[in-house]
Amino acid sequence: MKRRKNRREAIIAAVVLGLGLAFSGCAGNAGNTQRSVSAAEQGKTLAGEELPCAERSGTFFDTVIGIRINDERAEELLDGCFGICEDMENVLSAQKEGSELYRLNHRNEQTVEVSEPLAVCIRRGLEFCELSEGAFDITILPVRELWDFETEDHVSAVPEDNMIRQELKRVDYRKVHVENRTVTFDSPDTMIDLGGIAKGYISEQLKSYLREEGCSSAMINLGGNVSSLGTKPGGAPWIVGIQKPFSDRGEILTTVESTDNAVISSGIYERYFRANGKFYHHILDPQTGYPAETDLNQVTIIGEDDAACDALATIGIILGREKTKKLAEKLDAPVKILFTGQNNELEWYPS
């Protein structure tokens, strides 16, 4: 049986129309690649002046990322952005041995002083744990590690029910507390996974850095999490293509405009397998330990708070349409939601 590739394969195929650029969210060759864009591809300012542009891709967070910058110092700014990505991977990755989060999960003490980025990201994650009443839970790592969406032996990839029930006892975000930079755990068995919010947080850091450096036009794709800084040169919005679920990579379902905001999707087609006639996808329900039961193929969130969009996209798959709409109303920053149903029909909220 043909396996679906196991990375977020261009959930948003970041198609920047008019610039001839498509970033992919799937895993690829390791290392960084870079090219300067030709004069024909360079944007023009409102005054008609050509604005130098450069783009670069590389592998971080177990996925390919891509950044395009329109600025006189584009190459220098790309160096800075990729330095931030490397730093953040060494802080926020639960899988990378030696990262700060990995060390926190393998701690000897239950009260630990952590770096500011890790403290902030955990705190933001806990906000959405509480807001969703546990539908989003940053302590789901023990259960997540039971599931293997990469093995060719799909039958063995389904954990035993008793194993899931046992590991679910370790899942409870209420056992994690953050005050300033101090993280306290109520249980030594609690482990944290920030995968549902980290890339949103990182794209916020990248845009903050670029703004501080005077840059006003960039497109960032962190493994399918797309975020724009400003507009394209000349003032036109960026155009982002949303991938059609369960289609060949690159087939576009629809497009959305993006100006200084994030366009982030989660979908059940990102990583999945079938075993014993049943479909298993990678978005787990923290209440059951199994893939969330849903009538949605994909949820796309558009808004100015990248981390919130990242978390809400996952929450949307787990909670479904109506509960997600109600939850969105509680957010400080407004969002638009695009629900993609089982037949790839679209529903916008607000309509």
List binding-site positions for Mg(2+): 196, 310, 314
Helix (H, G, I), strand (E, B) or coil at 68: strand
Q: What are the phi and psi torsion angles at 69 (to 5°)?
A: -125, 130
**Residue 31 burial (C-beta neighbours within 10 Å; 0-12, 13-18, 19+):** exposed
Query: Around Cβ 163, how many Cβ atoms within 10 Å?
Result: 12
> What sign does the dihedral 119-124-127-133 (CA atoms) show?
negative
Which of 174, 161, 58, 183 lies closest to 113 in space, CA to CA?
183
3-class DSSP assignment, residue 262: strand
Considering just the CA atoms, what is the radius of gyration of the chain in Å? 20
Query: Sign of the C-alpha dihedral, residues 77, 79, 82, 83?
Result: negative
- 341 forms beta bridges with 296
Nearest one of 250, 290, 129, 97 to 197, comparing CA atoms:
129
Strand partners for 35: 55
CA distance 15 to 243: 10
Q: What share of the chain is helix, strand, coil (3-state, %, to 5)?
A: 25, 30, 45
- The whole-angstrom separation of Cα 237 and Cα 157 is 43
CA dist 156 and 74 (Å) reads 48
